[in-house]
């Protein structure tokens, strides 16, 4: 009898795909570009900014021609910045709301958390994908808005240098990215599409305007610390000189991390 023994086969390591933050970000990237609403929101951002700069530019040129009282806004860079704050950012708010809060509305957040059970990684992956997209969107929207502002203002437009245009484009991209990250944090905390849009609208525009209208100095100064006024300071369109672009950028970073910290706390302590 042939007494032979067969050595056991060496264990084969299971195939591993991309995991961790890279895998989570890849999944978020697929989800972001897999729906038409992403393109609609990004196109709406550009359309709203261009529409604002055209309306304000035509109005300013008409006011200047009629020599009416007051000083019309003839700075194309200022018109671009205010167009982002008063119009364009709300399409970004809608997009960021779709990225996080719509998953709670449809119940797909449970599937997301099954695939990425580490909750801070899931939340971070959304911003890792969304913020660069919004930054690039700002870089594209800025020259479009600036061009429409210059065209609408015509010969009453203030001169614009190439350096100032580049700085404004970077500021617009940075602000839109911050708005997106803040909105993701709000959405994780509020868990509602309507609630996220409402809270975001209040924090970004309504609350600052309300506090700034109060004739109490410390209340007005407190309003300057909110994200909306910080964005205006970053883009150089703030009516107050409380702080410069560097401090404005730091404030936006603070609000982005604060919003996501609140969102993560809710995400960790409540069931999906």
Mean pLDDT of 6-15: 44
pLDDT in tens, 169-211: 999 999 999 999 999 999 999 999 999 999 999 999 999 999 9
As given in the structure block, the two tokens for residue 67 are 């020599």
Would the CA dihedral through 51, 53, 58, 59 be positive or negative? positive
Say what percent of the chain tops pLDDT 90.
75
Q: In this structure, are residues 172 and 81 in contact, taking their beta carbons and an 8 Å threshold?
A: yes
Whether the pLDDT of residue 122 is over 60: the answer is yes
Tokens 């580049």 identify what position?
Answer: 166
Name the DSSP letter for residue 68: -
b/e for 231-252, b at 16 or more Cβ within 10 A?
bbbbbbbbeeebbebeebbebb
Whether the pLDDT of residue 5 is over 60: the answer is no
Q: Is 107 exposed, middle or buried (0-12, 13-18, 19+ CB in 10 A)?
A: exposed
pLDDT in tens, 29-68: 999 999 999 999 999 999 999 999 999 999 988 876 555 5
For residue 66, the model assigns a pLDDT of 58
Q: pLDDT-based confidence at 11, cuts 50/70/90?
A: very low
Model confidence, pTM? 0.89
Q: pLDDT-based confidence at 216, cuts 50/70/90?
A: confident
Whether the pLDDT of residue 12 is over 60: the answer is no
Return the SS3 of 234.
helix
Tokens 């006011």 identify what position?
Answer: 63
Across the chain, mean pLDDT equals 89
Say what percent of the chain tops pLDDT 70.
89
- d(CA 189, CA 119) in angstroms, rounded, equals 13
Q: pLDDT-based confidence at 84, cuts 50/70/90?
A: very high
Greater pLDDT, 239 or 60? 60
As given in the structure block, the two tokens for residue 246 are 């560097």
For residue 51, the model assigns a pLDDT of 97
Whether the pLDDT of residue 269 is over 50: the answer is yes
Whether the pLDDT of residue 75 is over 50: the answer is yes
């Amino acid at each position: 009898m042939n007494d032979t023994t067969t050595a056991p086969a060496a264990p084969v390591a299971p195939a591993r795909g991309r995991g961790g933050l890279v895998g989570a970000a890849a999944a978020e990237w697929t989800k972001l570009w897999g729906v038409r609403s992403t393109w609609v929101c990004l196109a709406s951002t550009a359309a709203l900014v261009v529409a604002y700069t055209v309306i304000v530019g035509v109005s300013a040129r008409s006011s200047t021609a009629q020599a009416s009282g007051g000083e019309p806004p003839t700075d194309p860079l200022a018109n671009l910045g205010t167009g982002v704050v008063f119009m364009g950012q709300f399409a970004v708010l809608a997009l960021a709301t779709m990225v996080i809060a719509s998953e709670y509305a449809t119940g797909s957040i449970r599937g997301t958390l099954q695939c990425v059970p580490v909750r801070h990684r899931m939340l971070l992956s959304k911003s890792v994908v969304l913020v660069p997209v919004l930054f690039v969107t700002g870089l594209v929207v800025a020259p479009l808005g600036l061009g429409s502002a210059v065209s609408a203002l015509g010969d009453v437009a203030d001169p614009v240098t190439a350096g100032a245009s580049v700085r404004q484009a970077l500021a617009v991209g940075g602000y839109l990215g911050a708005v997106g990250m803040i909105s993701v944090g709000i959405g994780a905390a509020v868990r509602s599409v309507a609630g996220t849009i409402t809270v975001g609208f209040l924090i970004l525009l309504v609350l600052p305007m309300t506090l700034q209208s109060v004739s109490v100095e410390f209340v007005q100064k407190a309003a300057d610390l909110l994200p909306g006024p910080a964005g205006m300071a970053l883009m150089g369109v703030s009516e107050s000189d409380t702080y410069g672009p560097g401090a404005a950028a730091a404030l936006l970073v603070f609000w982005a991390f604060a919003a996501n910290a609140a969102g993560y706390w809710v995400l960790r302590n409540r069931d999906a």
